[in-house]
A and B are shown apart, each in its own frame.
Chain A
Amino acid sequence: MPMQYVNRRRFLQLGIASGAAGLTAAYLPRGARAAASPPPDGAGSAVPSSVGVPPSDRCLVVIEMDGGHDGMSMAPPRGATYGRYHDLRSRIALPEASTLQLTPDVGLHPALAKLHTRYLTGAGFGVLAGVGIVAPDLSHFEMLRRWWAGDLSSTALTATGFLGRLCDAVATRDGTVDAAATGVSLGYGPTPALVSMAASTLSVNPYDSGGFPVFWDTDMDTVWKSAWKTMCESTDPKATVPFRSARHGAAYAMLFSDGVMAGLAPDSGTYPTDGDLGYQLSLAARLIAANQGVRVVHVPFYGDFDTHNNHVERHAAMMTMLDNALDAFLADLEVRGLADKVLVATTSEFGRRVPDNDSNGLDHGAASFTLFAGTPAANGVFGQYPAFATDSDLDPDGNLVATVGMWELYATLASWMGIPGADLGLGSAVAVPGVLAG
């Protein structure tokens, strides 16, 4: 609700003014992980308006940073541990003074200035440190598969994706399995992440906006669409399952085109136009605003995260793109009155090697960091920053050891949507404390 949002925002600003140091309380020192996170003064004592949003109104946007995103460069150490960080990657370390302070021990990449402002104003911005898989693999392919499926060891070969299962659970609970789409991926093809069993999920090219393709000739287009509708109306109850599925798929494609895409509000015109991410997030905002059943939006960030060489420049370009596009998205949600409904989280199949290589780059690593944004996100640095003080703190390959499991992250996302992780094949994993506001 817009009014609640304004109230909360004012309250948070007061909170920061009265106790900014409280914001750091959510960063748990080594050894304290999984203890109930004390709510930071100010930020935590506010009752976020998102808490009042019923689960049936909540939406989730997941930005997938394929390629292996270096969390340590997104949220580098400051203070006591900075020296060791600089020693390990002297050729690519960010100067301590250049990073934007989140806590005395953790900074933010200098290119994330807009998101840092959101953090400072208590608008909902958090970093979850050390997210990964306990027994990781160094292959993109293998790890993507695990992340898409939500499969820790890649042995289950489950047919569905984690986000697909989440869509199934949400649509089933909310009685919306007939929606044209519960989950949408804004990429160039179907993603294994959204493969579902009950709910409709589909992928939409962010540039063609998912509208039903057209004949340029309007007469032809009208006739074609009318005939197409006839073609997917099944009149034969004896048709085989594949036959009915083909008609069903066609009908849903049309339903999505007519029922969702055709009614979309216009682009706000406030997004960056360099790179795909602005276009993708703009469409995400419009899809959520349409309120036609889309609850989970998967955004493949077609970025340049696999920085085996020349890490500093390449990574900074990605952070700039993320800062501009995500800030525009969050602002767009506010204008559209949707800010309380939408949680944004990032994922990556793995982080990168702690020591740099001879090419001023970073090889494949293990744990990475997740960024949370939006009103439903609490302000702070959460989880436990993976240790790197000695070589034995790292894994045998020189990588950060995960302190938060993929399943705990996924359980956190599921808990935002009001779905128990156990219902989604996440075992007994529970949400990471403190990450969600309230």
Chain B
Amino acid sequence: MTTTYTKALVAHVLRRTTFGPLPGQVNTWAAKGVAATISHVLAAPALPVTDWATMAAVDDGSDLPVRWWLKRMANPAAGLHEKMTFFWHGHLTTGHDKVYRWKCEIPQHVLIRRYALGNVRTLVQKLTVDPAMLLYLDGSWSVADTPNENYARELMELFCLGRGTAASPNYHQADVEAGAKALAGYGVDWDTGIATFYPDNALPLDQTVRFLGHDVRTAAQAVDAVLGHKAAAPWIAGRMWRYFVGTEPSSAKRAALAKLLIANKWVVKPVVTAILHDPLFLTSRMNRPRQPIEWVTAAMAALGLTDAAHPDLRMETLWTLGQLPFYPPNVAGWSWGLRWLGPGVTLAKAAFEVEAPALTSVANAADPVAAALARCSLFEVSATTRAAMKKVMTSPALAGSANKGRRAQVLLALAVGSPEFALA
């Protein structure tokens, strides 16, 4: 006998570690327990992307790769690996509106999938000289004499270190300039999408620059210097904590996770495992907005809306909500925080909610309110939301058994539109 509380915890685990829960998943996993659910998502195999070459070959004006990725997020077999793939996309960002070369971005996406739970040091090394990244942050055709500073800055500021404090900055402009010189020398061929190293454009063999306290010459040495900085492991571990727990870690927690990351030679899975087993993970329920991709994926499944029947609904809703994969708003990724709960976002969500169908499992249920909420995997529901849904059941305009389908539509629209469903 699983309790409602267990279901609430399982729903929380699945909200944070997948793009669900999808209908039925909570019942299945609640029967096995919260610990088993966490073990399951951690162990879930990565979804195959064997058809990636097809996506790399599509026209640059096509949105097929976006749909291709969204389909994986909605796959019931998706586990933590899929969620971490999206995490890295928002953290080590590139965007199609600037790169505009699927032949570069899709191989990069496959690279991120390969290391999503693996070695972040290797991932950053490879991304630094990856064609899509070189194009996105202007490393392509950067020359050591007059280098482009874009990647050097973001590598430190956003990807690996953070700015630090005014009293104790993690780096200075001189580091940006020096790092840019060491990172220079690569160029991406616009037609082939292949990155090549041009020694004439890079620092010569007999020259180094002073970067973050190290003498470096090559891109690989520069990345090593960045990850050797004392702020690197705490920064990256802290971002993962925030993604799963919804808050910034305490300084003690951040330090412990950083230590764990270094002890594991920059392999992130043990760190994520530790985060998911931290007592704060289970108690930090509904403390952050569901991001639009999390919301739309779960909502389409809850309402039983398929891509086959509604070919553009998923894309259009995500576009109006402002979160399409491969289209981050800028190099800082998607904003974190309460803006996803603003009125404009709420209106855009409501336009989706009125698509709610008359699901018979809700219409014919003995308690349609409970059935609609369960369909949306909501097991901790405020009195206000329950009262609103009960109004539907007592409304004279929709009274009688002839209206049970229409009541089910409104109930499902309300459940998906509820503050509870808006939170992760």
Contact = CB atoms under 8 A, between A and B. Distances in A.
Contact of A250 (B157, B289, B417): B417
Q: Which of A192, A214, A242, A243 has its CB near the most chain B CB atoms (within 10 A)?
A: A242
Given A141-B95, A189-B319, A190-B345, A233 B384 contact: yes
Interface string A145-186: 100000000010101000000000000000000001100010
Interface stretch (A81-89, A205-213, A351-359): A205-213
A256 B387 contact: no
B123 to A, nearest CB: 23
Q: How large is the interface on B (under 10, 10 to 19, 20 to 34, 35 or more residues)?
A: 35 or more
B382 A236 contact: yes
A422 B178 CA distance: 33
Contact of A231 (B344, B409, B418): B418
Contacts of A252: 342-343, 346
A223 interface: yes
Given A223-B395, A247-B419, A253-B347, A145 B330 contact: yes
B89 to A, nearest CB: 16
A231 B385 contact: yes
Contacts of B395: 223, 226
Q: In terms of DSSP, what is the predominant structure of the interface of chain B?
A: helix
A434 to B, nearest CB: 35
Contact of A220 (B320, B351, B385, B406): B406
A232 B347 contact: no
B354 A214 contact: yes
Interface in A125-153: 139-142, 145
B422 interface: yes
A9 B345 CA distance: 42
Interface in B336-372: 338-339, 341-348, 350-351, 353-354
A301 B357 CA distance: 36
Given A228-B388, A230-B388, A250 B286 contact: no
Contacts of A246: 289, 341, 419, 422-423
Contacts of B347: 202, 204, 210, 212-213, 253, 256-257
B339 A243 contact: no
Contact of B322 (A145, A190, A248): A190
A252 B346 CA distance: 9
Nearest to A230: B388
Contact of B98 (A140, A231, A250): A140
A217 B406 contact: yes
B153 to A, nearest CB: 8
A222 B350 CA distance: 14
Contacts of B322: 189-190
Nearest to B397: A219
Interface string B195-217: 00000000000000000000000
A250 B150 CA distance: 39
Given A190-B345, A245-B338, A220 B409 contact: yes
Contacts of A141: 95, 97-98, 330
A217 B339 CA distance: 31
B328 to A, nearest CB: 10
Given A142-B150, A190-B322, A190-B339, A230 B387 contact: yes
A213 B414 contact: no
A202 B346 CA distance: 10
B154 to A, nearest CB: 10
Contacts, number: 160
B341 A242 contact: yes
Contacts of A200: 342-343
A242 B423 contact: yes
A190 B342 contact: yes
Contacts of A219: 397-398, 406
Contacts of A231: 384-385, 388-389, 414, 417-419
B406 A226 contact: no
Interface in B300-336: 319-322, 329-330, 332, 335
B391 interface: yes
Contacts of A192: 329-330
A226 B383 contact: no
A370 interface: no
Given A192-B330, A228-B417, A236-B384, A223 B342 contact: no
A224 B320 contact: no
B392 interface: yes
Contacts of B384: 230-231, 233-236, 247
Contact of A226 (B319, B341, B391): B391
B112 interface: no
Contacts of B287: 240, 242
A187 to B, nearest CB: 10
A285 B277 CA distance: 55
Contacts of B95: 141
A313 B392 CA distance: 56
Contact of A215 (B138, B335, B343, B354): B354
Contact of A230 (B320, B391, B406): B391
Q: Which of B345, B354, B388, B419 has its CB near the most chain A CB atoms (within 10 A)?
A: B419
A249 interface: yes
A88 to B, nearest CB: 25
Interface in A189-203: 189-190, 192, 195, 200-203
Contacts of A210: 347
B375 interface: no
A224 B414 contact: yes
Contacts of B338: 241-242, 245
A227 interface: yes
B410 interface: yes
Interface in B278-297: 286-289
Given A195-B335, A227-B388, A227-B392, 17 more contacts: A139-B138, A189-B319, A189-B320, A189-B321, A189-B322, A202-B344, A203-B344, A212-B347, A213-B353, A215-B354, A228-B414, A231-B418, A239-B382, A240-B286, A242-B288, A250-B346, A256-B347
Q: 5 closest Cβ contacts across the A-B interface?
A: A202-B344, A246-B419, A252-B343, A231-B388, A230-B388
26 contacts: A180-B343, A190-B342, A190-B345, A201-B342, A201-B344, A202-B343, A204-B344, A213-B347, A213-B354, A214-B354, A215-B409, A219-B406, A220-B398, A220-B410, A226-B395, A227-B389, A227-B391, A227-B410, A228-B388, A230-B388, A245-B338, A246-B422, A246-B423, A249-B343, A252-B342, A253-B350
